[in-house]
Structure 1
């Protein structure tokens, strides 16, 4: 019987007798651990930056540039996870557990190969990559150390992404949350210890920060392996590790558009960030501060996207298209409620929050204007995040890719230039362009999900 989570209290999500209230409860059960997990990761990122900032500006820049590069790595690892989650959820919904096990093992093999390739590439090309990113000599040395220590063992990063995705595909969002909690706690403790030292133990500076990150990931990976082994996917673990081209093609077929979507987003950000820089240092600083404050508004959307991915995939596997639609719509409405509430705070509290980042009145005012506009972006953004997750769960990853390509490279880039620069609206024009981008994508993805063409596309699959 398909399950919401992998515990002994697991509950079917394909019953005809489930009420709307129970469906809302099901969505919340899946979403809240993902929200907590993402919140923890965001908070740890702040703490990590705070510790490294005590070493100097060169170290902060080195970590910042490396993180931008690693985001490209993450895009590929996450894309494998998207393909894995969609297929696992579908087979779980169809009660084809053996097929789900096959997908799990092939996903782990694929993630291992990709992680090793990225690690080898980092070992030999870390310095040239950082030079290509524009790292100055003072930053290059520190950045090369940090980049190699963190990314040569990319195998651990890749497997962490994939095992978390496999568990979410079964409906278990609690185990990845718990692993993330312990991993982040260990990361913070090791960060302080290995960067600054304690008593007779010397500190290792930026190399210590990198080592703390790797050790925390290894610990988190161990916890995820334990969790996966306790599920039905973890049965018959020693067998079935021979590469299966058919399954690998299915995973990459779903995951490739998801990877392209994320890469389109990253490269598009580089382009429109360059346009914002042309508006001046204060304006760019205000944009960065507004973005940092806004970061927390995404977290509920990502959590409900995880729920939509799992539930739509499971219902599709069970051939219950109406139920898949219902779970998708419920996830969207709940995300709108949460993110709409955050939008109210952004509208009225944006300038207040900006005071914690700067004392420059001009910048604070611009942040306030940007976040007032962003308050109206929260509802379309909630739709975009959740429906992207829902379509990913259905294996229909091409359409989110198309919406992002048009949204980022046409609506947002043209909007930033036209409204922000040509019309002279400055940062207000930039954030209006972001609003228009999200409105376009919300309408486009809403049409695609409502059309149910994703269901017809997968009619012959489990």
Structure 2
């Protein structure tokens, strides 16, 4: 099995070896993505047992949380891409300096974002069109997550730095641990003390009975524990990156911040406008009623199991292309781009078929409410047809991030969702209901994949790097 160090040493890699290396790095990254998505399933399934109002409370602010999470995650990429380039060039001292500066800059930024989130936590559900039954729970759920953003950002930073160092296994393993912790914490925090029948024995199971607040608290607690473990391994154990072994300045310097902004600023803006569009979709869905809000939220969570492989392979693509680019091996970077996109499209096509067949079972897993299940199944089966082209956009974006090309890809994402998805959703929702919103999404994702494939094969992204 080839090792990623071959990229830095200048060794030759056959097409078969490149494919094996892609799979070798993609598999742990996909497991990390799967564990994160499973946490969403767990929260949705557990909260779904509390009733439609609680489900709608979570669903109403979920896209707003993605906005805040995504902004903080995008900021970390500005530093991790530079680390990938430095490691590709064999300059580990520079990589460690970038890590130190990244910790400082990301903490400062995430604290500022958390303060903004806390300030809007109470009015936000009302702005999104929620009613008095769902708004209090939605506000509390949102507030817990945004207050934890600085620590969650360290989780994003630690995982991104380890992956760009070529270490996919530790982030993957820690994210699986996070998933298990989420189950345990939610089990005791969401539900009240109750009596369970286990193998014929009546057992009193203690519980805090915190409902939606317990779901947020449980997930945040699991993520905080994982963030601590991630940063400990990165700073104390990761070969070449263990900054605890030497002294160094954590003060950001102009050159590193400038390059970080060049990568992160377009990604942050792009994520903000895309999540803004998703929030706008929530506003379009809200007048359709509580059942539609809950079904939309559950369907979005259910569909995430399909694009999980795409984001995992996209993470691997960023590492492989980034290190190849840093080593000056542009032909290898291009080949890794083609291989990772093809692998993502094949994998997500299979997942789309699975989603179409298993949609009823997946929705029933998350909620016992028949009307919500019916709406969600119809939406998921529409979306299943978009998965191959969705994969193309996800992985191609990861490829382009690897060389630091983010401005035009960010603009492509922005134009696609704002000029295609939103107008179509607004037109189709009044006549087709929730199905119209998801049909608009399917059409837009197919269009987005097509324009990313065009840019990938044009080769222009290789000339736009840092």
TM-score range, shorter chain: 0.7 to 0.9
State whether structure 2 residue 211 is matched by structure 1 residue 203.
no
8 Å CA contact 1:282, 1:363 repeated in 2: no
CA distance in 2, matches of 1:227, 1:392: 25
Residue 93 of structure 1 contacts residue 318 of structure 1 at CA under 8 Å; is this kept in 2? Answer: yes
* Contact preservation (8 Å) 1:285, 1:363: no
List runs of 5+ in structure 1 lacking aligned partners: 5-9
Secondary structure at the counterpart of residue 254 of structure 1? helix
Pairwise CA RMSD of aligned residues? 3.3
Q: Distance in 2 between matches of 1:325 and 1:399?
A: 18
**TM-score with structure 2 setting the length:** 0.85
For residue 283 of structure 1, report the CA deviation from its aligned partner.
7.2
* 2:292/2:434 contact within 8 Å kept: yes
Aligned counterpart for 2:424 among listed residues 415, 420, 441: 415
The answer on 1:308 being equivalent to 2:317 is yes
Q: 1:110 aligns with which of 98, 102, 105?
A: 105
Tell me whether 381-390 or 409-418 shows the greater mean CA deviation: 409-418
Match of 1:391 among 400, 409, 415: 400
Q: Among 186, 206, 228, which residue is 1:222 paired with?
A: 228
Correspondence for 2:333: 324
Distance, in Å, in 2 between the alignment partners of 1:146 and 1:304 is: 31
CA–CA distance in 2 between the matches of 1:159 and 1:362? 36
Cα distance change of structure 1 residues 361 and 217 upon mapping to structure 2, 3 Å threshold: closer
- Rate the CA distance shift 1:439–1:245 in 2: closer, same or farther, 3 A: same
Is residue 2:169 matched to residue 1:164?
no
Report matched runs for 1:182-261 at 5 Å.
182-196=177-191, 203=208, 205-206=210-211, 207-229=213-235, 230-231=237-238, 232-235=240-243, 236-261=245-270
Moved more, 125-134 or 332-341: 125-134
Aligned-residue offset at 1:448: 2.2
2:449 to 426, 434, 442: 442
TM superposition shift of 1:444: 2.0
* Partners of 2:187 and 2:298 in 1: CA distance: 26
Deviation at 1:349, TM superposition (A): 5.1
Shift of 1:197: 6.3
**What are the Cα deviations for residues 348-386 of structure 1, in whole angstroms up to 9, with x where unaligned?**
55567666667869974x766655543431221111110
Q: Deviation of residue 59 (structure 1)? A: 4.4
Q: TM-score, normalised by structure 1?
A: 0.85
**5+ long unaligned stretches in structure 2:** 194-203
1:113 deviates by 0.6
Q: Which moved more, 1:327-336 or 1:42-51?
A: 42-51
Per the alignment, residue 196 of structure 2 pairs with none
Structure 1 residues 148 and 361 mapped into 2: Cα distance closer, same or farther (>3 Å)? closer
Select 1:451's aligned residue among 453, 458, 464: 458
1:342 to 315, 328, 351: 351
Q: Compared with structure 1, are the counterparts of its residues 70 and 278 closer, same or farther at alpha carbon in structure 2 (3 Å cutoff)?
A: closer
> Is this contact kept in 2: 1:403–1:441, CA < 8 A?
yes
Alpha-carbon distance, 1:25 to partner = 1.2
Residue deviations 1:63-96 (CA, integer Å, cap 9, x gap): 4444333222112111112212221111111112
Cα distance in 1 between the residues matched to 2:214 and 2:287: 36
CA distance in 2, matches of 1:257, 1:175: 29
2:23 to 23, 28, 52: 28
Q: Which residue matches 2:75?
A: 80
* Distance verdict in 2 for CA 1:407–1:188, change over 3 Å: same
CA distance in 2, matches of 1:153, 1:427: 32
How many angstroms does 1:434 deviate by? 2.8
Alpha-carbon distance between aligned partners in 1 of 2:319 and 2:266, rounded to the nearest angstrom:
18
1:235-279 CA distance string (max 9 Å, x none): 445312122122122112211111111122112123344445667
Q: Indicate the SS of the match to 1:127.
A: coil
Report the CA distance between 1:457 and its aligned residue: 2.8
Moved more, 314-323 or 447-456: 447-456
Give the match for residue 7 of structure 1: none
Most deviating of 45-54 and 367-376: 367-376
**1:149-169 deviations in Å (ceiling 9; x for gaps):** 443232111111111111111
Cα displacement (A) at 1:120: 3.5
Q: Which deviations, in whole Å up to 9, do the C-alpha atoms of 1:300-335 show, x marking residues without a partner?
A: 111111111111111111111111111111111111
